[in-house]
Amino acid sequence: MSVEGALLLTVLLPLLGAILIALSDSRPNIRETITLATAVVLFLIVLQLLGHDTGSIELVIATPLPQLSLSLYTEPLGLLFATVASGLWIITSIYSIGYMRGNNEQNQTRFYVFFAISISATMGVALSANLFTLFVFYEILTLSTYPLVTHKGTEEAKQGGRVYLGLLLSTSIGFLLVAMVWTWHVAGHLDFTVGGILQDKIDPGFLPLLLALYLFGIGKAALMPFHRWLPAAMVAPTPVSALLHAVAVVKAGVFAVLKVTVYIFGLDFLHNTGANKWLMWMAAITVILASVVALTKDNLKARLAYSTVSQLGYIVLGAMLVNSMAIVGGGMHIATHALGKITLFFCAGAIYVATHKTNISEMDGLGRSMPVTYTAMLIGSLSIIGLPLTGGLWSKWYLALGAVAAEQWAMLAVFMVSSLLNVAYLLIIPIRGFFFSQPRSGETSVIKEAPFASVLALSLTALGCIAMFFFAQPLYEMMVDIFER
């Protein structure tokens, strides 16, 4: 298969899957088989693309306006994101089957259809060759995840959906669109170019403003004060929270931030003008504040959501340190945090299916009834904190190195303090699960592990967290590739 064909397929295949899923409405087994098959084939196609990452093969799908095209290409950062998202889609599909059936959720077909469309949009974001393409798929991703967020159709879901759509659309149309038109106006195109496209094209005095428009405009990166959509999105079924709101959607945000920093502004240009300084502090504030808020949340998914906000802040902060080490760290963090956080969400969902409990304070002693789930949760937490024997160590390592290289000691301190806060709000959950005693109540039912499909999925991702510790080298080399082209 040619690279162009493979590129196009990454976007089209999930769409085709969506159509087939819609057609097999009344036959759940066939429907789920199609989902899984699509996910596996998509992953294989993305893997095949990995071999071609050095080339800059571009596929133009359409040209809406002169000098403005919908195009896809292969680039290390995008391939990494595509690999992570498509790989985790397989595992999430397995998990969904257990979760959706175990919970007897309504409208399962609609759920799988929009899930597939969201993946298609994610692939488009990951492989976009210019900012305009990224923006188009970014908006499709917002819209296609809306029916998933509001899946339950309750008043709460509707409210959550309003915040979700309201914040994401208003930031992207209100800021990102203006920033994009501005860039197009001064640079004449929006192609992702090594070294940036803005050098000598714009008065450096305007640079902080433009950068701010981008960073706040990419609402999916959840930079405070535009982070509220992420906790609001937690009304969605857990597989959605796991894959979309810990991996695809939020990573699309920070991915866009990294792309814009590296390929639109250019690291040297930003470094020389110092436009990044105040936004670096905004990211630092997000990292710390979100961690503190996470500490106060008793609802497990809400705590995980704020943890995600904080971890996304790491990557934005990495981008704003504007050196290659920090960018490498940020890129690796996309992958390691994805694995860690999806594990935690899987665990939260498994606990919900097994016990219908959502609050951490009610989960004392559950670890002894659900050992696999809680072990996975422990591993996931360790990875997010960044402790050895998990992949999370490496991304934090390089992020910290980036802070040192930039001689931003305050930022180094932010990384350290936040890691301590992570320990406080994440590790406490498995500790309470294993060591606290179960409250005495009149319940007679014996709590068991969640359905096999769900447990299998969360075990796989937990193992992935550990594997990343030992096999971080290829990941690192892939990221360094960004700067060697």
Partner 1 sequence: MISAHLPALQVVIPLLAAPACVVVRQSTLTWLLALLVSWISFAIALTLLVQTFFNGPMSYELGGWAAPLGIEYAVDVVNAFVLVIVSGVSSVVLISAKESIERETHIKRTHLVYTGWLLCLTGLLGITITGDVFNVFVFLEIASLSSYLLVSLGPDRRALTAAFQYLVMGTIGATFILIGVGLLYMMTGTLNMADLAQRIPGVAQTTTVRAGFAFLVLGISLKAAVFPLHYWLPNAYTFAPSAVTAFMAGSATKVSIYLLLRFFFDIFSETFSLRTMRLDLILLILGVIAIFSMSLVAIYQSNVKRMLAYSSVAQVGYMVIGISLATTTGLTAGIVHLFNHALMKCALFLALGCIVFRLNSVDLKDLAGVGRRMPWTMAAFVIGGLSLIGVPATVGFISKWYLVLAALERDWWWLAFMVVASSLLAVIYIWRVVETAYFKTGPVANTEEAPLILLVPTWVLIVANIYFGVSAVDTISFATRAADQLLSTF
Interface with partner 1 (CB under 8 A): 62-66, 70, 132, 135-136, 139-140, 143, 150, 153, 158, 162, 165-166, 169-170, 173-174, 177-178, 181-182, 184-185
Minimum CB distance to partner 1, residue 183 (Å): 10
- Comparison of 39 and 236: residue with beta carbon closer to partner 1: 236
- The three-state DSSP-derived secondary structure of the chain is CCHHHHHHHHHHHHHHHHHHHHHCCCCHHHHHHHHHHHHHHHHHHHHHHHCCCCCCCEEEEEEEECCEEEEEECCHHHHHHHHHHHHHHHHHHHHHHHHHHHHCCCCHHHHHHHHHHHHHHHHHHHCECEHHHHHHHHHHHHHHHHHHHCCCCCHHHHHHHHHHHHHHHHHHHHHHHHHHHHHHHHHCCCECCCCCCCCCCCCHHHHHHHHHHHHHHCHHHCCCCCCCHHHHHHHCCHHHHHHHHHHHHHHHHHHHHHHHHHHHHCHHHHHHHCCCHHHHHHHHHHHHHHHHHHHHCCEHHHHHHHHHHHHHHHHHHHHHCCCHHHHHHHHHHHHHHHHHHHHHHHHHHHHHHHHCCCEHHHCCCHHHHCHHHHHHHHHHHHHHHCCCCCCHHHHHHHHHHHHHHCCCHHHHHHHHHHHHHHHHHHHHHHHHHHHCCCCCCCCCCCCCCCCHHHHHHHHHHHHHHHHHHHCHHHHHHHHHHHHHC
Determine the distance from the C-alpha atom of residue 243 to the mean position of all C-alpha atoms in its chain, rounded to a whole number. 8
- Residue closer to partner 1, measured from CB, 65 or 446: 65
Least Å from the CB of residue 174 to partner 1: 5
Strand partners, 130: 191
The distance of closest approach from Cβ of residue 254 to partner 1 in the complex, given in angstroms and rounded to an integer, is 20
Q: Which is nearer to partner 1, 215 or 455 (CB)?
A: 215
CB 166, min distance to partner 1, A: 7
Closest to partner 1 by CB, 170 vs 193, is 170
Per the listing, tokens 């590129």 go with 7
Least distance to partner 1, CB of residue 178, Å: 5
Measured from the CB atom, the residue of 181 and 413 that comes closer to partner 1 is: 181
Q: How far is the CB of 416 from partner 1 (least distance, A)?
A: 39
Nearest approach, Cβ of 143 to partner 1 (angstroms)? 7
Token pair for residue 287? 């990292």
Q: Is the dihedral of CA 169, 171, 172, 178 positive or negative?
A: positive
Please state, in angstroms and as integers, the Cα–Cα distance from residue 173 to each residue in 108, 181, 253, 257, 270, following that order. 31, 11, 14, 16, 24
CB of 164 to partner 1, least distance (A): 11
Nearer to partner 1, 135 or 306 (CB): 135
Nearer of residues 182 and 483 to partner 1, judged by Cβ: 182
Give the nearer residue to partner 1 in terms of CB position, either 47 or 169: 169
Please say which residue, 185 or 485, places its beta carbon nearer to partner 1: 185
Pick between residue 185 and residue 448 the one whose CB is nearest to partner 1. 185
For the CB of residue 7, give the shortest distance to partner 1 in the complex, in Å: 17
- For residue 154, the minimal CB distance to partner 1 (Å) is 9
Q: Which is nearer to partner 1, 66 or 474 (CB)?
A: 66
Tell me how far, at minimum, the Cβ of 182 lies from partner 1, in Å.
Answer: 6
The residues, any chain, with a CB within 8 Å of residue 448's CB and separated by 6 or more, are 354, 369, 370
Reference 221, options 185, 191, 267, 260; nearest CA is 260
Is residue 131 within 8 Å of residue 260, measured between CB atoms? yes
* Integer angstrom CA distances of residue 474 from 208, 212, 332, 470: 35, 33, 11, 10
Minimum CB separation of residue 139 from partner 1 in Å reads 5
Between 174 and 274, CB nearer to partner 1: 174
Least distance from partner 1 to the Cβ atom of residue 125, Å: 12
Residue with Cβ nearer partner 1 (135 or 374) = 135
